[in-house]
């Protein structure tokens, strides 16, 4: 790796599924001839299944990682520690100009912490988001990564206020927009039509030209690790499916929790079709054509806002408040009546109309790389 990284090279980190769509436009922007900085890619291996990794690299046209740390799963402490231990010698050998991390997963904080202690500048893309919920592992990762970072790129104005409150110097913060929406706009015409994915899953409700369906994703530990909450959510989704058939691409964690709690029967008796984790282009197609999306994902709240599709968020809070104040998102929590009420509202009114937030325009990675080039000139 040493030979690969020169004095103007940025080491970009990915680890888990939601990182892949954020890094793709950044790698593309670094590869433009205007950028005097170039990038290399390191994958920690936090997500390793073909369905959780390989299809994303292919579909998003992300270059093969220059390094794969191959850490795999574990407790948070094990996973974070493993990444740190394996990342340190790579950094020692490669001496990049800076390390760029995205999002809020364990790979983000682990690599940021190793880099900063070696005096290597840390760049955080998607900084400043706060749910206010410290029980969420990602919230801890966000707060700590932002404290360690030298340059912080934010997706919405609220994020700046959050960072100011935590004592981050304002000249480190740059409003660049949302790289996840760069990927969405870049790939929208390549999205796999929903009906193709539904037909593949043998959904009986496939209609021509368009099916009337809802899309579900669930994977947060707070929703799927507690069998009481999981049962409640599956029951309410089963009720909704009687009126709007639901398609449910399942995260491996959720699948194993449903099996462990013996809740498969609940799904079998409903009009919910479960399928394995989907590729990026399949998910884009499923989101785009859905009547409603029910989710606990962070990224999907943003993607549905960009697509103008109603989103019901099955969490008590969101770190992405602009999707509620400007977009199509409603945060309802996990209370059965609140979920049903919100679903009824969406069916009656078609859901919130919303607008696409400022700078969610497909050019965010370009802005980030321009800012980094200017910054590199000042520090070299
Ligand atoms: C991680 C992120 C979360 C993100 C999610 C998207 C953290 C703290 N959480 O959560 O923010 O929304 O990714 O997917 O980093 N597993 C597989 N195959 C894989 C990867 C995981 O089967 O390729 C299973 C393993 O049983 C593992 C479990 O999924 O224990 C959880 O994986 P992990 O990476 O620990 O966290 P996620 O829940 O995926």
Say whether 43 is catalytic: no
pLDDT of residue 5: 45
- Give distance in angstroms: CA of 71 to centre of ligand 1: 12
**Of the candidates 198, 187, 199, 195, the residue with the CA atom closest to the CA atom of residue 307:** 187
Pocket test for ligand 1, best of 13, 15, 16 (most atoms within 8 A of CB): 16
Protein residues with CB under 6 Å of any ligand 1 atom: 16-18, 46-49, 52, 73, 104-106, 137-138, 219, 251-253
Q: What is the pLDDT of residue 208?
A: 85
- DSSP H stretches of helix in 128-176: 137-148, 157-165
**Cα–Cα distance for residue pair 225/3, rounded to 1 Å:** 44
Q: What are phi and psi of 345, to 5 degrees?
A: -60, -45
- Spatial separation of the C-alpha atoms in residues 304 and 331, rounded to whole Å: 13
C-alpha–C-alpha distance, residues 169 and 223, integer Å = 36
Hey, which of 43, 47, 56, 300 would you mutate to test ligand 1's pocket, going by the most ligand atoms within 8 Å of its Cβ?
47
Domains (ranges, CATH) in the chain? 9-177+360-379 (3.40.50.2000), 191-349 (3.40.50.2000)
**Distance separating alpha carbons of residues 41 and 11, to the nearest angstrom:** 6
pLDDT computed for residue 68 by the predictor: 97
CA proximity to 304, closest of 317, 291, 288, 319: 288
Q: 207 C-alpha vs ligand 1 centroid, how far in Å?
A: 34
The 10 Å CB-count burial string (b at 16+, else e) for 334-369 is: beeebbeebbeebbeeebbebebbebbbbbbbbbbb
Q: Tokens 């994902």 map to which residue?
A: 297
* The pLDDT of residue 1: 40
Report pLDDT for 210: 86
DSSP for 69-109 reads: -------HHHHHHHHHHHHHHHHHHH--SEEEEETTSHHHH
pLDDT score, position 54: 81
Distance CA 194, CA 213 (A): 10
Residue 174 · residue 152 · CB < 8 Å: yes
Of all atoms in ligand 1, which is nearest to the CA of residue 256? 26
pLDDT < 70 positions in the chain:
1-6
256-306: per-residue pLDDT in tens?
999 999 999 999 999 999 999 999 999 999 999 999 999 999 999 999 999
Question: 47 alpha carbon to ligand 1 midpoint, in Å?
Answer: 6
Q: Note the helical H segments in the chain.
A: 17-30, 54-59, 76-94, 106-117, 137-148, 157-165, 179-187, 194-200, 221-224, 227-243, 252-260, 264-268, 280-289, 298-307, 322-325, 336-349, 364-379
pLDDT in the model for residue 3: 37
The per-residue pLDDT for 7 is 73
């Amino acid at each position: 790796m040493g030979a690969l990284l020169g004095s103007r090279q940025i080491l970009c980190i990915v680890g888990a599924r939601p990182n892949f769509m954020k890094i793709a436009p950044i790698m593309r922007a670094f590869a433009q001839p205007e950028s005097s900085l170039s990038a290399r890619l390191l994958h920690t291996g936090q997500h390793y299944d073909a369905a959780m990794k390989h299809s994303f690299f292919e579909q998003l046209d992300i270059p093969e990682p220059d390094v794969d740390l191959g850490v795999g799963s574990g407790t948070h402490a094990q996973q974070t520690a493993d990444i740190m231990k394996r990342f340190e010698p790579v950094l020692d050998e490669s001496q990049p100009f800076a390390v760029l991390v995205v999002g809020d997963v364990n790979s983000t904080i682990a690599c940021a912490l190793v880099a900063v202690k070696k005096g290597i500048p840390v760049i955080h893309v998607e900084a400043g988001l706060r749910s206010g919920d410290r029980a969420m592992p990602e919230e801890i990762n966000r707060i700590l990564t932002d404290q360690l970072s030298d340059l912080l790129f934010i997706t919405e104005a609220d994020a700046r206020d959050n960072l100011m409150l935590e004592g981050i110097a304002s000249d480190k913060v740059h409003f660049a927009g949302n790289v996840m929406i760069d990927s969405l706009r870049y790939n929208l015409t390549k999205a796999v039509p929903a009906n193709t994915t539904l037909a593949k899953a043998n959904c009986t409700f496939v209609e021509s030209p368009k099916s009337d369906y809802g899309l579900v994703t669930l994977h947060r530990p707070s929703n799927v690790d507690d069998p009481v909450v999981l049962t409640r959510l599956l029951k309410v989704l089963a009720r909704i499916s009687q009126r709007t058939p639901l398609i449910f691409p399942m995260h491996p964690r959720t699948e194993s929790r449903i099996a462990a709690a013996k809740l498969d029967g609940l799904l079998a008796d409903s009009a919910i079709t479960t399928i394995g984790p989907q590729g990026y282009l399949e998910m884009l197609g499923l989101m785009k054509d859905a009547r409603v999306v029910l989710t606990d994902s962070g990224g999907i709240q943003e993607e549905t806002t960009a697509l103008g599709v109603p989103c019901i968020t099955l969490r008590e809070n969101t770190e992405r408040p602009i999707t509620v104040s400007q977009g199509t998102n409603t945060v309802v929590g996990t209370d059965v009546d609140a979920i049903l009420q919100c679903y009824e509202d969406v069916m009656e009114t078609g859901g919130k109309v919303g607008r696409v937030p400022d700078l969610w325009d497909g050019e965010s990675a370009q802005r980030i790389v321009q800012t980094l080039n200017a910054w590199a000139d000042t520090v070299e």
